[in-house]
Amino acid sequence: MGNLEDKEPRMPIFNLILKIAVSVSAGIAWLIFLIVWLYFIAERFSVYQNLAIFLLSVLILGIINSIAWLLMRKR
């Protein structure tokens, strides 16, 4: 009986670690995308198009993080 009670608090910690890992991974992937975009592709587009792509990438990053944090919330 004691073993079941000991394992119960570990699940929220695992969920928190998983949320943080998803957030950090998404942030690193976004920075890599941004560097590659600015170095190789940005010259082909106008300032407004580059700004739109930047804002869209921030929106996608926010959606990924929101989904991760909402789906893995404590039940």
Q: Tokens in use for 29?
A: 């992937």
Q: How many structural domains are present in the chain?
A: 1
Q: The whole model's pTM is what?
A: 0.77
* φ and ψ at residue 73, rounded to 5 degrees: -70, 160
8-state DSSP, 73: S
The Cα 5–Cα 58 span in angstroms is 41
End-to-end CA gap in the chain: 22
Q: pLDDT by residue (tens digit) across 16-57?
A: 888 999 999 999 999 999 999 999 999 999 999 999 999 999
Predicted confidence band of residue 2 (pLDDT cuts 50, 70, 90):
low
Q: Which domain holds residue 30?
A: 2-71
The Cα 46–Cα 35 span in angstroms is 17
